[in-house]
Each structure stands twice: as structure tokens, then as C-alpha cells.
Amino acid sequence: MTAATSDRASRPASRRRPPLVPHQHGAWAFLALPVLLAISAGAWDPTLALLAPAWIAAYPLSWALSELWSARHPERYRRAAVVWAAAFVPLAIALVVLRPWLWAVGLAYGLSFAANVLFARAGAERSLRNDLLLVLECSLMVPIAVAVAEGGGGLLPPGELVPTGEVAVLTLLCALALTSSTLHVKSLIRERRDPRYRSAARWFALGSLPVAALCAAWWGAGGAWLVLPFVAFALRTWPDVVRTWRPARVGLLELAGFVLVALSAFLAA
């Protein structure tokens, strides 16, 4: 450690450079996957060009607001809150004008954000329960993006918000992939000393295989592609060499897995 680094490390938190983005870098891939899966289902409309950046900006905005209400030095997160609010609010307004029923979606996500704040105030923002809440939020974005792309300007949510057929399959596979990644990464980093997480990651990945196979059988032609990512997820939980990897390398492997999920959905379509 250099003298400059040592000086930075000993500097009080309130005097460090205020953060602009969350430190959970893997969450960005979580946000991208449901939008890509929705597009693979044939959902495309210029409105998605508003939804995608609004959805991405909502995550760091919710993080900054959560820290404003729960951090020891909340003033450090004011800049991030202002920056991400400036990015999110105009997009959100435009989306509600074009798809007025999104007010109900915003209300539902607002309630989940309140739960995130409660976890943060309890010091459990990186707990499994909070991570699984993020998995739920991301998975539900698949039918939401499809509904946004298919139109409908009423005040009441359209029927497309209840996923059926291919959209339901993609929503389920998104939830399986994100949950598998959550358990696997925790077993390697934050909970690496807890053997229960290692077992849970392995058995969940193995249990996802027959579910993916059933989805592929229902899908029909091209459905076999949907199983491929979950074979990879199961295999990546077994080599012990992975347990010695640095977090950045683990993250790149998970990113490759998400790319494989999205690619398999496009190939199956």
C-alpha cells in the first residue's frame, strides 16, 4: 500500500469523493437481461427506447435515495440522487403519458423500493431476501416490457402484464437464471464460509435443468436452445478452481451466462 493509498484509506468517509453509482456492479446485467428477453419475444416499439434507460436509471436512483434515508453520511449521496433523478423523471413522465397504466406499475415498484429501504435501514441491504426481491423486480420486467411494446393507452393495466405462453416461459427462465447467479456469487464471495450457500447454489442450478427442459419441450421447435444456459449454470457450480477466483473474474463468468441466456432466447425464437 502506497502512502497516498494509506492516506485515502484513513480519510473519514464523509471526506471521500461522493459515489455516483452503486458498488454492486453485477446488478447492471440483472437489469439488461429482462429487456433483452422481452425483445426476443418479438416485443419492439420505440417506447422501449424510453423504457430501457428509465429502467436502468431507476436502479441507481433507488440506491441513492435509499442511502439518503439510511446511510451514516447521507449527504454523500445527494449528488447521485440529483443526477439519477434528472435522468429518470423525464423518461418516467414520457412513459406515463404514452402508457398511462404504468402508474400502477410505478406504484408496485415503489412498494418494493420501500422494502429495499427497510432492508437498508436494518443493515441487510445485501441479504439474500433483498437480493431475491431484486430478482423478482427484474423478472417481472419481462412482461412489463412486452406490454409496453404492444401498446395500450388506458389507465388500467393491460392483460399482457399477466405473462402467458412464451412470455411466461421467458419470465420463469429469467427468474431461474438470476436466482442461480445470486446464490452462486454469494457462495463464492460474501457467504463463501457458509457451506449451505454452496449446496444451495449447486442444487438450485441442478434443479433448474428439468424446469428448463420442460419449458423447452413446451416451446417446440428451437426450444432446446433454452436448456443450454442452464447446463452451463449447473457445470459452473462444481469446479473448485472457481472458488479461488477474484470477484471481477466471477462477475465476468456470470455476465457470460446472462449473455448465453439472452442469446438462447433469440435463437429459440
Residue pLDDT tens, the chain, 269 long = 433 333 334 444 445 678 888 877 778 899 999 999 999 988 788 999 999 999 999 999 999 998 888 778 888 899 999 999 999 999 999 999 999 999 999 999 999 988 888 887 777 777 888 899 999 999 999 999 999 998 777 888 888 788 889 999 999 999 999 999 999 999 988 888 888 999 999 999 999 999 999 999 999 989 999 999 999 999 988 877 677 778 888 888 899 999 999 999 999 98
- Cβ atoms 75, 121 nearer than 8 A: no
What integer pLDDT is reported at residue 155 of this predicted model?
84
What integer pLDDT is reported at residue 241 of this predicted model?
61
- Cβ atoms 189, 24 nearer than 8 A: no
Write the single-letter amino acid at 59: Y
What integer pLDDT is reported at residue 16 of this predicted model?
67
**Residues contacting 82, CB < 8 A, separation 6+:** none
Q: Which three cell numbers stand for residue 252?
A: 465476468
**C-alpha 148 chain-centroid distance:** 19
Q: Which three cell numbers stand for residue 128?
A: 439474500
Please enumerate, as own/partner, the contacts of 216-223 that have beta carbons within 8 Å and a separation of 24 or more. Answer: 216/268, 218/169, 219/166, 219/169, 219/268, 222/267, 222/268, 222/269, 223/268
What integer pLDDT is reported at residue 15 of this predicted model?
55
Return d(Cα 169, Cα 171) in angstroms, integer: 5
Return d(Cα 71, Cα 64) in angstroms, integer: 10
- Cβ atoms 138, 27 nearer than 8 A: no
- Cell numbers 404514452 correspond to 98
